Structure 1
Amino acid sequence: MLGGTHVDDVLPILAGTGIQYCPFPGRITGHPSVLEGSIEEIVESAQALAVREGVYGLDLLAYRSKEDVPALIKAVCAAVPKPVYVAGSIDTPERIAILKDAGAAGFTIGTAALDGKYPADDKDVARQLGAIIRDVAALNRHLSPLHKKNLASSFGQLKETWSPKIAGQINDMQIKLAKFAGEFAWRFHRSGDELFLVHKGRLLMKFRDRDEIIEQGEFIVVPHGVEHCPVALDDVCEVVLLEPGTSMDAGTAHDLEG
């Protein structure tokens, strides 16, 4: 529960309910509410509230204060060991970034979204909230820069055979695409297992003790240290490889544009 100034009245009511209570620090006046007082006074109020049993955190009306807002947020966050949520006309990505940089745990946003003031494609609440959530995710580096890739078109870019191209990476594992034609040489990886997934065609994998045919849509894992020799059974076999980024036994790998 966020906001409010009647802490002595609220705490007995919430006792034992499990509700997390975050009252306003400082002197609150007017409607819409305004935060009055110096940074030092607000910090003193925040400290007094934070030590109260039953107070989970604070709801700081920083953007309704005449003081230096970033300095105010930093001072309160540094002075109390509990979460500080910022409120008061947070209606731009820049203001959200400021409060994050100042150490706030989060923020509230209501009127800005309801009145369509937040920069978005439209003023309706759904678009407003969508833009806010997107900007928070971007600020927290939770947006992915990666997009899907089509295997058929990616393989269409490959001109050479037996020359894997890097199509993506998962942690320290590289996803490579390669076209096989004919027979390659016997080889083995000193470290790092390798996965061969046949996208098109058929692949024969020779081992010293047996041969295995991998059909389209099938894959095989070759453990490190195991001698093997891949052979394309059809004219050209399209293969997806998954192997450690340091493994270059299949040839020099180059970036593949997707």
Structure 2
Amino acid sequence: MGLRFIFMLTRNDKTVEDAEQHLITALAAGVHHIGFKDVGLPFERLKQLNEAIKAGGATSYLEVVSLDKESEIASAKAAVEIGVDILLGGTNVDAVLPILSGTEIQYYPFPGKIEGHPSALTGSIDEIVASAVELNSREGVSGLDLLAYRSTENVTGLMAAVCAAVDKPVIMAGSIGSRERIEIVRRSGAAGFTIGTAALDGDYPADSPELETQLRSIQKDVAGVNNHLSPLGPKNLEQSFAGFSETWSPKIAGTINNMQVKLVKLEGEFVWHHHKVEDELFFVHKGKLMMRFRDRDEIIKEGEFIIVPHGVEHCPVALDGVCEVLLLEPSSTLNTGNVRDERTVSDLEYI
């Protein structure tokens, strides 16, 4: 799945007043994980905000800011009533777990000691790791919400130590406001991270401080560190076919898993053959193709295709001059199948 980016509609540990408008921008930008805090807006608006997040196809997160037991119990009950997907934060695990029992809400409490507002993570790395290990062992705890960048300890070492000590997903929270920090989070072994204020204030390195640009820049950086960016662009069939003239010599134009997209020019009649295990798709880009079978002949015109199942003997014939064909077939496919002759091409060129 890769590292998960969670956009928080929050500033200074409060859900922002204009959260609904920012949500529209986030959903339009294709953000799939969106959260808010349990303070900042009235309960009814939080409930409507959650409904809008889920209606937009995103996963919803509620992060608990309250640290006293009674407030946290109220927040957990609110999470159930609101119907969020994931409850982040909080430290009163024994009080919260019974409230979430029987629901589908995933629970990611804070490891370590949390103090102040905005929240800060205190204690040594060893103490925080010990807390994380204890929480990790608890049934009903789905993962951990680590306030890594709000710790005074070595943040890189802290994140790596916690992720190495537990077998449940860890989400990193705090001031993660650059690609460099996102890369550090990924290397630590974390499952995800949150960004709120940096994007809302236009502080994330991007071409513009506008929220949509901020979010798209973050998503691009996340895709980059996850190795999910494609180096491939469109290919034009007209131009590709114009790049070669020889016939009956397939060229590789692209690869899809163990399949290859091949371009070939046909002229006249080929050889009768079959493929023992490979199916083939013939798409006619230009010209007219006749596919001869032992029981019939099929005519394939421009814009049409035919699939030849493996084991079926066939003989392609180009009608009315040269026929340009796109082939989709496994990379193991030999153009002459079970036959070896002067038209067999073992080493295909890439175009």
Per the normalisation by structure 1, the TM-score is 0.86
Greater than 6 Å deviation, 4+ residue runs: none
Contact 1:158–1:178 (Cα < 8 Å) also in 2:
no
Given the alignment, which residue of 34, 38, 44 partners 2:120? Answer: 34
Which AA in structure 2 matches 1:254? E
> Which residue pairs with 2:201 in the alignment?
115
> Which residue pairs with 1:96 in the alignment?
182
2:300 counterpart of 1:214: yes
2:291 counterpart of 1:205: yes
Distance 1:41 1:237, change over 3 A: same
More moved, 92-101 vs 138-147: 138-147
> Which residue pairs with 2:349 in the alignment?
254
2:333 counterpart of 1:244: no
CA distance in 2, matches of 1:230, 1:164: 14
Given the alignment, which residue of 36, 57, 61 partners 2:147? Answer: 61
More moved, 2-11 vs 179-188: 2-11
> Which residue pairs with 1:164 in the alignment?
250
CA distance in 2, matches of 1:89, 1:177: 51
Distance 1:76 1:224, change over 3 A: closer
CA distance in 1, matches of 2:298, 2:197: 66
CA distance in 2, matches of 1:225, 1:13: 61
> Which residue pairs with 2:157 in the alignment?
71
Distance 1:193 1:56, change over 3 A: closer
CA distance in 2, matches of 1:38, 1:10: 25
Distance 1:50 1:172, change over 3 A: closer
How many correspondences in the alignment?
256
> Which residue pairs with 2:56 in the alignment?
none
- After superposition, the C-alpha distances for 1:199-228 in whole angstroms (9 at most, x for unaligned) are 111112233443222222222233344443
Q: CA deviation at 1:84?
A: 1.7
More moved, 5-14 vs 186-195: 5-14
CA distance in 2, matches of 1:243, 1:218: 16
Secondary structure, aligned partner of 2:321: coil
Distance 1:191 1:79, change over 3 A: closer
Given the alignment, which residue of 195, 198, 205 partners 2:281? Answer: 195
What's the RMSD between the two structures over aligned residues? 2.4
More moved, 182-191 vs 101-110: 182-191
> Which residue pairs with 2:108 in the alignment?
22
CA distance in 2, matches of 1:56, 1:135: 27
CA distance in 2, matches of 1:47, 1:205: 65
Which AA in structure 2 matches 1:185? V
Uncovered stretches (5+) of structure 1, i.e. residues with no partner: none
Contact 1:35–1:61 (Cα < 8 Å) also in 2:
yes
Which AA in structure 1 matches 2:241? F
CA distance in 1, matches of 2:137, 2:125: 19
Which AA in structure 2 matches 1:130? R
CA distance in 2, matches of 1:255, 1:177: 10
> Which residue pairs with 2:73 in the alignment?
none
More moved, 65-74 vs 246-255: 246-255
Distance 1:207 1:3, change over 3 A: closer
More moved, 116-125 vs 206-215: 206-215
Distance 1:185 1:14, change over 3 A: closer
Contact 1:162–1:180 (Cα < 8 Å) also in 2:
yes
CA distance in 2, matches of 1:183, 1:17: 67
More moved, 92-101 vs 202-211: 202-211
CA distance in 2, matches of 1:2, 1:152: 53
Q: CA deviation at 1:9?
A: 5.4
2:200 counterpart of 1:105: no
- After superposition, the C-alpha distances for 1:115-164 in whole angstroms (9 at most, x for unaligned) are 22222221122211122222222322333332222222222222222221
